[in-house]
Structure 1
Amino acid sequence: MLVDDLNSQIWAVDALGALAHETRLSVFRALVKAGAQGMVAGAIAEYCSVPPSTMSHHLATLERAGLVHSERESRLIHYRADFAGMRRLLTFLMQDCCQGAPEMCGDLLGEFQGDLACLAEQPANA
């Protein structure tokens, strides 16, 4: 296994581990739904019904895993999903898809298009 492959695998395990918790998965999904606007930490804690001190731990775990990034705005910390990190994880999971027969999973997103609001809202010629 190449060093880059090993590093990618270690990172993917960390990212999947960060998502393998009910609260963190809820936080990540809320931030994905919020899009580029993101959410402030207090709103995330309220949304998930989690005390702010506990929420800061979950947000730090997601940030270390490369799935969330934060930006201080005065006294507030604004969090956004790291879409590049999410794309990196999905790419890692799918890169060796179908033992070299990409037609088997080439339209994977197409199967779920109705379930993905961002795809369903795109114009037909997008």
Structure 2
Amino acid sequence: MNIEIAAGTFSAMGSEARLEVLRLLIRAGEAGLTVGEIQERSGIAPSTLAHHLKFLAAGNVVTQEKQGRSTITRANFDHLQRIANYILCECCADEPQRAANDG
């Protein structure tokens, strides 16, 4: 993952409301939620929710699929795993290594 994609992803998640929506979708699992279900569970006004979902989709954090008259929104678990790996991949790389016989 390059830094531009990572920055776009973090930007997409950059509000309390969007993080709340994302957490709802993560809790829902692969089945996802309809926009109505997200609105009901979050209490976010429909027009505001549409705005937040647009940001999340643009950041590849969620996917949306039209099913009849409903739109199912799902967390993009593959991308979320990649972004977690990206941010943690160099964890502790600069930490001094202890010698095997240090006590």
Q: Indicate whether the TM-score tops 0.5.
A: yes
Asked if 1:26 is matched to 2:24, the reply is no
Q: SS where residue 71 of structure 1 aligns?
A: strand
Distance 2:92 2:5 in 1: 22
The alignment's TM-score, normalised by the length of structure 2, stands at: 0.86
Structure with greater contact order relative to length (CA < 8 Å, sep ≥ 6): 2
Provide structure 2 residue ranges, at least 5 long, that are not aligned to the other structure. 98-103
Asked if 1:35 is matched to 2:29, the reply is yes
- Measured on the aligned residues, the alpha-carbon RMSD in Å equals 1.7
Provide structure 1 residue ranges, at least 5 long, that are not aligned to the other structure. 104-126
Which structure carries more helix by proportion?
1
Distance 1:43 1:98 in 2: 41
Asked if 1:11 is matched to 2:5, the reply is yes
Distance 1:82 1:50 in 2: 21
Q: SS where residue 60 of structure 2 aligns?
A: coil
The alignment's TM-score, normalised by the length of structure 1, stands at: 0.71
Runs of 4+ displaced beyond 6 Å: none
How many residues end up aligned between the 2 structures? 96
| Residue in 2 that maps onto 1:55 | 49
